[in-house]
Every structure is written in structure tokens, then in C-alpha cells.
């Protein structure tokens, strides 16, 4: 078969980096295999909306093979890569399948990480996948249910205390939305407790939230959070997380719901490439995103460590997309015998939403906050949502939520709701 002669590009990971790389290879004389652990591409910027019951899973996720169905040279495989054998140019999966590659693009991203406190994971779930989002949704909604059923006042208060650890974009979004749920969405639905008495605390070890943005916008974000009802605790490092809550040094806060948004660690696949890593475990890439001495391997997205103008590129979707496209184009250039060009991120600005009508945006010369930033954020996110029907449905859901304060996806699934005893087990 002639197609067997075409160079084989294997892409690990169907996030923004991997998917954009696959698309940039459409119509080219290469075979593309895209491997992912899950069957869907996830629009991660809206994942917190699934965690907080504002959107359903299919609103922000679409099957990878559906997205690539018309790209004849692309094969999508569900599988988990366990081994990258760069000497033999082979990728092996946990199900025993192996793929030989001519070019490899590693885009396996990052997971949330607890910085040496893995025992915190059981008490403070993080948010990276749809499964994570369903866990957080279950925990948050169940907490209000437990409060309603709890006769003891102190225990009841602990069910109504919510702590979000980490003041980056995810932490800010979660805290702002939790406050909205407590103050508006659940109003009048409980008979024994008043959800509006719930405390939502956002804990950040550094001096300000949204540290990647200009200081002026951090200040505005904090004010907007406080207006929504969030207690912002900056400069406070978490020292303990357990079944009863958290400790900030000497001070203990009793809380049944603790969410983790404080940090990520690079995918462990990076360690198998024989390339140097940075402190965070990310792979140091060359100017064209390939590895030193291994020009057939590219590392992109959250797994790549790349400086630009003396600063590391952030782990955000626009960087991953541009890297994916660049890696694909570099491969095609090499196949044509042309030289590789260095990657340069074209900065599209930074955006963070805080809650209902509250957001901040840093667009270089223009800085927005409040309602205008929120509308801009909404427009950008709906515009970039992948896929066919999602935009319309998401828009309808959003309009509905906006006018009614309701969140339609308040469905608890998964394990039976935890009893107090389960929780500490």
C-alpha cells in the first residue's frame, strides 16, 4: 500500500496542542495517528462550568474522532501511552498496542499536583478532566444536602464552608461561581438551612490573585470577588488539608469542601524522552519545539518548557494551539527539505472570569474589568468552542442561567453521597 510509505506522525494527546497539530497536517502526504486516554477533546477554559453545574459535559466536549472525521489521513486511537521508546521510535500503550513513528508530537499536558502532599488529594479534588468536574460537582452539591440534613450546628457550618486553594484563573472562577450558587441559585430551595450563609474562601499563598496579570487587574479582581461574597485570603499558605478542613499555619478552618486549584505538574511521559526537564518537570525544547539531538520529536503545550523574551510561556490554550500548528508545519517543512523556523508565540492577551458579570482582561494596551470584560470573555469563549452544535446550546444555557440564576446541570451522579464517616475514611 502506498499510504504505508508515507511518513507516520504520532501525536500523543488530543488537547489544544495535539488537536491543532493534527489539523495542521490535514491534506498533507503524511499518516497521522492521534492517541488519547479519553475519547473527547475538552474545552478546558469552561471546565469549571461543568464542575459548578452550569453546563453539561457535551456542551464543552466532543469526540476526537468526530472532530477529525473528514480528515482522511488521521486515525484516532483511544489508549494510554505507557512507554516512549525513542531509540526504536516506538510508542507503546497499556493495552499492548505499539505504534512506530517517523515523527512524534508529545502533547500530553499536565495534571494538578499537590507539591509533595499527595495525601491532600483525597480531601481536595483538583480540576483537569471531566471526571474531575463530576467529582467536584458531586461534592459541592452534596455539601448543601448534608447541611440540610445535619442536626448539629457546628457540623452544619462545616458543610457550608467552602475553601478554594489557589488564586489563579481556575481558583478565581470556582470561588466566584460557588458564591453565586450559594447566594442565588439555591435560594428558597432549602427549608432548614439558608445557603446564603455559606462561606466561600479563596486562599492564595502569594500576595495577589491572578498573579500572571498586571497588579492593577488583580486588585480589581479581588474587589469583584468580594462583591460576589468571596473571602479572599492572600499571603496565606495552606499547611494542612484533611477530612475536617484546612490549616493556615496556626489557624484552622473547618470545611467539608476543599477544592484544589493551586498547581499542576507536567505529564510523566516527559521523563521518557531523554531530554532535560525544568524544575516543574516540563521538557526543555529547542527554538523549533523539537528536542536537542532528536529532531523527530516535538514537545508542545503544557508539557513544553519554552522561554520567550526572558519569560516562560504560560500554560494556556493559545500557546498550545500555536505550538501544535508550528510543530506540524515544521515537520512538513523538513519533509520538503526546507529549514525549520523558530517558534514565536503571538500574544493574544489574557482573560480571567470571576463570576456573573465580573471578569478582567489584559489585551496589551487595553485593560478591561467588570461587565465589559465579562461580555468580552463570554464572546471569546463561545466563539472558540469547538464543534458544530455546542455554541448554540451553550448560548441558550447561558442566557437561561443569566436571567434565572439557575444552573441546569445540578445532577449528582457517581458514588452514593458521602456520609460524614465515609468522608474521613
> Binding to a copy of itself by residue 40, rule CB under 8 A?
yes
Kindly give, in sequence order, each residue whose CB lies less than 8 Å from that of residue 230, ignoring residues fewer than 6 positions away.
175, 176, 178, 179, 200, 201, 202
Count of all residues that appear for the chain in the document: 425
Query: At 234, which helix (H) or strand (E)?
Result: strand 230-234
d(CA 218, CA 360): 8
Q: Which 8-state DSSP code applies to residue 190? A: -
Closer residue to a copy of itself, CB minimum distance, 318 or 387:
387
Maximal C-alpha separation, the chain: 74
How far apart (Å, rounded) are the C-alpha atoms in residues 202 and 211? 14
User: By CB under 8 A, how many residues form the interface with a copy of itself?
Assistant: 61
Q: Which helix (H) or strand (E) holds 305?
A: strand 304-305
Taking the complex as a whole, the smallest distance from the CB of residue 420 to a copy of itself amounts, in Å, to 7
Q: Which one among 6, 7, 29, 57 touches a copy of itself, defined by CB under 8 A?
A: 57
User: What is the x/- site pattern for a copy of itself, positions 90-109, by CB under 8 A?
Assistant: ----xxxx------------
Cell numbers given for 270: 516527559
Among 209-217, 235-243, 263-271, 400-408, the segment contacting a copy of itself (CB under 8 A): 400-408
User: Interface with a copy of itself includes 130 (CB under 8 A)?
Assistant: yes
For a copy of itself, give the closer residue by CB, 63 or 349.
Answer: 63
Q: Is 173 a catalytic residue?
A: yes
**According to the binding rule CB under 8 A, does residue 148 interact with a copy of itself?**
yes
Instruction: Check residue 387 and report its DSSP letter.
Output: S
Instruction: Output 85 or 131, the one with its CB closest to a copy of itself.
Output: 131
CA distance 8 to 6: 6
Does the protein bind a copy of itself through residue 274 (CB under 8 A)?
no
Helix (H, G, I), strand (E, B) or coil at 408: coil
Least distance CB 124 / a copy of itself (angstroms): 21
CA gap 212, 168 in Å, rounded: 8
Choose one: 138-146, 242-250, 328-336, 343-351; the region binding a copy of itself (CB under 8 A). Answer: 138-146
Task: Assess 257 for contact with a copy of itself (CB under 8 A).
Answer: no
What residues make contact with a copy of itself under the rule CB under 8 A? 37-40, 56-59, 61-63, 65-66, 69-70, 74-80, 94-97, 130-131, 134, 141-142, 145-146, 148-149, 151, 188-192, 388-390, 392-393, 396-397, 400, 406, 408-414, 416-417, 419-420
Amino acid at each position: 500500500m502506498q499510504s504505508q510509505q508515507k511518513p507516520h506522525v504520532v501525536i500523543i494527546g488530543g488537547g489544544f496542542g495535539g488537536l491543532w497539530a493534527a489539523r495542521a497536517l490535514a491534506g498533507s502526504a503524511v499518516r497521522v495517528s492521534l492517541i488519547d486516554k479519553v475519547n473527547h477533546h475538552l474545552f478546558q477554559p469552561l471546565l469549571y462550568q461543568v464542575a459548578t453545574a452550569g453546563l453539561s459535559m457535551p456542551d464543552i466536549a466532543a469526540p476526537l474522532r468526530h472532530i477529525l472525521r473528514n480528515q482522511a489521513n488521521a486515525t484516532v486511537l483511544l489508549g494510554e501511552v505507557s512507554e516512549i521508546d525513542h531509540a526504536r521510535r516506538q510508542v507503546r500503550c497499556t493495552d499492548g498496542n505499539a505504534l512506530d513513528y517517523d515523527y512524534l508530537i508529545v502533547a500530553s499536558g499536565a495534571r494538578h499536583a499537590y507539591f509533595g502532599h499527595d495525601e491532600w488529594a483525597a480531601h481536595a479534588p483538583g480540576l483537569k478532566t471531566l471526571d474531575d468536574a463530576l467529582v467536584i460537582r458531586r461534592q459541592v452539591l452534596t455539601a448543601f444536602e448534608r447541611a440540610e440534613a445535619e442536626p448539629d450546628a457546628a457540623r452544619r457550618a462545616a458543610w457550608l464552608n467552602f475553601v478554594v486553594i489557589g488564586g489563579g484563573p481556575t481558583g478565581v472562577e470556582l470561588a466566584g461561581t460557588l458564591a453565586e450558587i450559594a447566594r442565588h441559585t439555591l435560594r428558597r430551595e432549602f427549608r432548614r438551612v439558608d445557603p446564603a450563609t455559606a462561606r466561600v474562601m479563596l486562599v492564595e499563598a502569594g500576595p495577589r490573585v491572578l498573579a500572571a496579570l498586571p497588579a492593577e487587574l488583580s486588585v480589581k479582581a479581588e474587589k469583584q470577588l468580594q462583591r460576589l461574597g468571596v473571602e479572599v485570603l492572600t499571603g496565606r499558605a495552606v499547611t494542612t488539608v484533611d477530612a475536617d478542613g484546612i490549616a493556615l499555619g496556626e489557624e484552622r478552618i473547618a470545611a467539608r469542601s476543599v477544592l484544589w486549584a493551586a498547581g499542576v505538574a507536567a505529564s510523566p511521559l516527559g521523563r521518557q524522552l531523554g531530554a532535560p526537564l525544568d524544575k516543574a518537570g516540563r521538557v526543555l525544547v529547542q527554538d523549533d519545539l523539537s528536542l536537542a539531538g532528536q529532531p523527530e520529536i516535538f514537545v508542545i503545550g503544557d508539557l513544553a518548557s519554552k522561554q520567550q523574551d526572558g519569560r516562560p510561556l504560560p500554560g494556556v490554550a493559545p500557546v498550545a494551539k500555536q505550538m501544535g500548528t508550528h510543530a506540524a508545519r515544521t515537520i512538513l517543512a523538513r519533509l520538503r527539505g526546507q529549514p525549520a523556523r523558530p517558534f514565536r508565540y503571538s500574544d493574544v492577551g489574557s482573560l480571567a472570569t470571576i463570576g456573573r458579570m465580573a471578569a478582567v482582561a489584559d489585551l496589551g494596551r487595553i485593560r478591561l474589568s467588570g461587565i465589559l470584560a465579562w461580555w468580552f470573555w463570554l464572546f471569546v469563549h463561545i466563539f472558540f468552542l469547538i464543534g458544530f452544535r455546542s455554541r448554540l446550546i451553550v448560548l441558550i444555557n447561558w442566557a437561561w442561567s443569566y436571567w434565572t440564576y439557575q444552573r441546569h446541570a445540578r445532577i449528582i451522579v457517581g458514588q452514593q453521597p458521602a456520609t460524614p464517616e465515609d468522608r474521613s475514611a
